Structure 1
């Protein structure tokens, strides 16, 4: 039973999430021969203020790029 836990910053649309689930499932079917009905994908959305990289919080990083 494949299980994927995907963490992203908030902002993806429902349609984008559906596409992610569909394409990740297809990849597991194609590459590993897994059954779609046994594949579980969880998308966790994280506030930008709770995600950091390059030494700063994502919300500050995006403000800097803005």
Structure 2
């Protein structure tokens, strides 16, 4: 039973999440032969202030890129 945990920063649409789930499921089926009904995918959305990148919190990093 594959279990995949996807962690992303908040702001993704329901449609985008559905596409991610569909693509990951298809990949596990194609590459590993895992049946879709055995595949579990959890998407966790993290606030940008709780995610660090390049030595900064992501919200601060994004501000520095503007």
Band the TM-score falls in, shorter-chain normalisation: over 0.9
Residue matched to 2:54: 54
Distance (whole Å) between structure 2 residues aligned to residue 6 and residue 37 of structure 1: 18
**Which runs of 5 or more residues in structure 2 are unaligned?**
none
- The CA RMSD over aligned residues, in Å, is 0.4
Give the total of aligned pairs: 66
Name segments (4+ residues, structure 1) moved above 4 Å: none
Q: TM-score, normalised by structure 1?
A: 0.98
Q: TM-score, normalised by structure 2?
A: 0.98
